[in-house]
Amino acid sequence: MKVFVYGTLRAGEANAYLLKDAVRLGDECLASGYILHDLGAYPAAIASLGGTQLLGEVYQINDEILHSLDWLEEYPVEYDRVEIMTSYGVAWIYLYNHSVAGSPVIGNGDWCQRKRLAKAS
């Protein structure tokens, strides 16, 4: 099975260690349909008809890794896990379950770019 990750699970980010035994298939850009919010320590993606792109990575994972990701994402309470189509085939994505009202939007859909811009200012 595969998973699309867009935040702290991406390579070089705080929780990437959970994917150390996964196979990184490559970068992925979901062309539209999402809004990425900055919750401070981590991002929250929500599906939206008026949404924009969402950048991330796709990994091949096993059941043990999926269980670890479910634990991290507090599935199904904090995040829901849904299937999406990527250029690598069907993959899971974690979408935020709670209100994002008042949280900043990351307009370019790239959590890692948001962090680089913050460091530069």
- What are residue 2's DSSP bridge partners? 60
Which amino acid is present at 61?
I
Residue 103 phi/psi, 5° resolution? -90, 140
C-beta separation of 25 from 32 below 8 A? no
Q: Which two tokens stand for residue 31?
A: 């062309």
Q: Is 73 a catalytic residue?
A: yes
Of these residues, 73, 74, 78, 83, which one is catalytic? 73
Report the C-alpha gap between 68 and 18 in whole angstroms.
7
Catalytic residue IDs:
73
